[in-house]
């Protein structure tokens, strides 16, 4: 057992140093700061894509702080919820600003996170040895989706009410347990006061606690293996005489200053939206949500908030006719696995068996299209978790991959954005067909990645990071 030792400082040492020494002898505050940021060596060739991780932390803080102030005045009661939000907007000093910061912050959070994930996709930040970092990040993404969904009901407006009704009813499509599961989630046979209280509890207490734990795990895992960089090179493989990577620099003050600049730009844009366009044309705050919830009046078009719509479009595109395309795709995929892979025969047979069950289940006498829509909806999210094992490219970074790989990423990005746009539009035959094509592109990007990611002529990857001082 080690004896307690407190570092001796000169009698004339500054008070701040004495206080810090007192804390450090009882809690590793300085060590924690140095390990996680102050003396954490990051690659010296970071570009602007690496600002979005810090911005995500900033928006998380904004959401927590504004949420605390909103909870002070919000009433989680079906008869009072809408009025309490109006009270916050109209009568609470600066309440309108806090509410708009929170609602705009939700959209800003997803914008930043989507860009953060796009950077990981471009530079292979999910590849070995960062698989666990990616899985923690994926879990954070799931928590954000749950947090946004639960929070969306709380204003108790028309779109909140009916959006929750539609999403919860999706669980009813699950065979055998679906109706009971939907009833358990709602706490009633319809979205009601019981649902509001449950969603409020999850939004304010349960999900934030899990989210904070996952963020901490994400950062600890990141700083354990080190940050990736635009070249996809492991800087820890080249250590200098001082024991630090020769291509690394301390995060503070070098990246602290860049983060401050990025935060300044972000807050300028964030403030512009809050003060001049908080509804953002109905994308950030739907106009129907300024109407009190009415269980007897269904809006003509029900759609989730924009950040769910890429996945919602896949759900809506899954029709009985589209299932024939899905069946053909499954059969072709299994044939591709059999002809081109060296997997053990048992694994191939298991894959073929699962595929056969799925194809039979999609027959007219099997499960209906609504169920398979929910499956594809969930699969479009869950498939992101398998990205570290789907990508087998010899080069991590897109910089050293064949040029046509960039076209693949661009087509995927266009399909994703198109799905998001169509998800907020009223259903139409043309939109349905386009959504189905984009859904095929979306799943094809991931499911065919083990093949296309290894194809082509790759550029030689340098042994040290490419860096030009500026």
| Helix residue ranges per DSSP H, 202-319 | 207-225, 251-276, 309-317
Give the separation between CA 81 and CA 151, rounded to whole angstroms: 12
pLDDT (tens digit, 9 = 90+) per residue, 331-356?
A: 999 999 999 988 899 999 999 999 99
Residue 73, annotated as binding a ligand: no
Find the angle CA(104)-CA(105)-CA(106) to the nearest 5 degrees. Answer: 90
The CA distance from 315 to 372, in Å, is: 8
pLDDT band (50, 70, 90) for residue 364: confident
The answer to whether 462 and 237 have CB atoms below 8 angstroms apart is no
Is 405 annotated for ligand binding?
A: no
Q: Is the pLDDT of residue 174 over 90?
A: no
Instruction: Say what the pLDDT of residue 4 is.
Output: 66
Confidence of residue 304 (pLDDT cuts 50, 70, 90): confident
* Burial profile 331-341: b = 16 or more Cβ within 10 angstroms, e = fewer: eebbeebeeee
**pLDDT tens figures, 380-412:** 999 999 999 999 999 999 999 999 999 999 999
Structural domains in the chain, sorted by start? 40-234+244-295 (1.20.810.10), 303-470 (no CATH)
Q: What is the pLDDT of residue 9?
A: 79
User: Rounded to an integer, what distance in angstroms lies between the CA atom of residue 13 and that of residue 8?
Assistant: 10
Question: Which of the four pLDDT bands, split at 50, 70 and 90, describes residue 2?
Answer: low
The predicted pLDDT at position 10 comes to: 82
C-alpha span between 284 and 278 (Å, rounded): 7
Of 318 and 39, more confident: 318
How many C-beta neighbours within 10 Å does residue 215 have?
18
DSSP string, 60-127: HHHHHHHHHHHHTT----TTTHHHHHHHHHHTSTTHHHHHHHHHHHHHHHHHHHHHHHHHHHHHTTTS
pLDDT at 27 over 70: yes
Residue 166, pLDDT > 90, answer no
| DSSP letter, residue 363 | S
Torsion of CA 113, 114, 118, 124, to 10 degrees: 50
Q: What is the pLDDT of residues 8-22, one digit of tens each?
A: 878 788 888 888 888
Higher-pLDDT residue of 468 and 116 is: 116
Q: Is 116 a known ligand-binding residue?
A: yes
Token code pair at residue 217: 């795990």
Confidence of residue 466 (pLDDT cuts 50, 70, 90): confident
State yes or no: 223 annotated in a binding site: yes
Q: Count of CB atoms within 10 A of residue 311's CB?
A: 23
Using a pLDDT cut of 90, give the percent of the chain over it.
Answer: 73
Identify which of 9, 7, 46 has the alpha carbon closest to the alpha carbon of residue 24.
7
Of the candidates 380, 371, 361, 332, the one whose C-alpha atom is nearest the C-alpha of residue 141 is 380
Q: How wide is the angle at C-alpha 288 spanned by C-alphas 283 and 292, nearest 5°?
A: 140
103 confidence band (pLDDT: 50, 70, 90): very high
Region 42-71: what's the mean pLDDT?
95
Mean pLDDT rounded to a whole number for the chain: 92
pTM, two decimal places = 0.94
| pLDDT of residue 312 exceeding 60 | yes
Q: Is 203 annotated as a binding residue?
A: yes
Secondary structure letter of residue 51 according to DSSP: G
Q: How many helices (H) and strands (E) does the chain have?
A: 19, 2
What pLDDT digit, counting tens, does each position of 248-271 carry? 999 988 899 999 999 999 999 999
């Amino acid at each position: 057992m080690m004896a307690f030792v407190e570092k001796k400082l000169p009698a004339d040492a500054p008070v701040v140093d004495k206080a810090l020494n007192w804390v450090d002898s009882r809690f590793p505050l300085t060590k924690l700061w140095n390990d996680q940021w102050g003396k954490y060596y990051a690659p010296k060739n970071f570009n602007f894509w690496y600002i979005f991780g810090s911005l995500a932390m900033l928006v998380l803080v904004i959401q927590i702080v504004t949420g605390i102030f909103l909870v002070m005045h919000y009433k989680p009661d079906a008869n009072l919820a809408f009025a309490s939000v109006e009270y916050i907007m109209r009568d609470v000093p600066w309440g309108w600003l806090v509410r708009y910061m929170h609602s705009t912050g939700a959209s800003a959070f997803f914008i930043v996170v989507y860009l953060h994930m796009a950077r990981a996709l471009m530079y292979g930040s999910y590849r070995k040895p960062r698989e666990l970092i990616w899985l923690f990040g994926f879990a954070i993404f799931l928590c954000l989706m749950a947090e946004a969904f639960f929070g969306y009901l709380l204003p108790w407006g028309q779109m909140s009410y009916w959006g929750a009704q539609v999403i919860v009813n999706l669980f009813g499509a699950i065979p055998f347990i679906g109706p009971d599961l939907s009833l358990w989630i709602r706490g009633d046979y319809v979205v009601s006061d019981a649902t509001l209280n449950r969603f409020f509890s999850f939004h304010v207490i349960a999900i934030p606690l899990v989210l904070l734990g996952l963020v901490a795990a994400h950062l600890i895992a990141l700083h354990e293996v080190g940050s990736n960089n635009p070249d996809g090179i492991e800087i820890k493989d080249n250590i200098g005489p001082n024991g630090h990577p020769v291509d690394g620099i301390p995060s503070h003050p070098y990246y602290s200053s860049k983060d401050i600049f990025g935060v300044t730009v972000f807050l300028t844009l964030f403030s512009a939206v809050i003060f001049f366009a908080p509804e953002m044309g109905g994308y950030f705050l739907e106009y129907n949500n300024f109407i009190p919830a009415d269980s007897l009046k269904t809006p003509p078009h029900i759609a989730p908030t924009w950040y769910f719509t890429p996945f919602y479009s896949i759900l809506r595109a899954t029709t009985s006719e589209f299932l024939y395309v899905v069946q053909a795709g499954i059969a072709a995929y299994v044939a591709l696995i059999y002809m081109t892979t060296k997997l053990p025969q048992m694994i191939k047979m298991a894959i073929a068996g699962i595929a056969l069950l799925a194809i039979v289940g999609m027959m007219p006498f099997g499960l209906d299209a609504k169920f398979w829509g929910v499956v594809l909806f969930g699969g479009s999210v869950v498939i992101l978790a398998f990205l570290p094992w789907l990508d087998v490219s010899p080069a991590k970074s897109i910089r050293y991959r064949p040029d046509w790989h960039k076209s693949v990423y661009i087509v995927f990005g266009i399909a994703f954005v198109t799905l998001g746009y169509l998800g907020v539009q009223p259903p139409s035959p043309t939109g349905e067909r386009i959504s189905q094509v984009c859904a095929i592109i979306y799943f094809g990007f991931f499911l065919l990645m083990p093949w296309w990611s290894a194809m082509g002529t790759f550029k030689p990857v340098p042994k040290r990071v490419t860096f030009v001082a500026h």
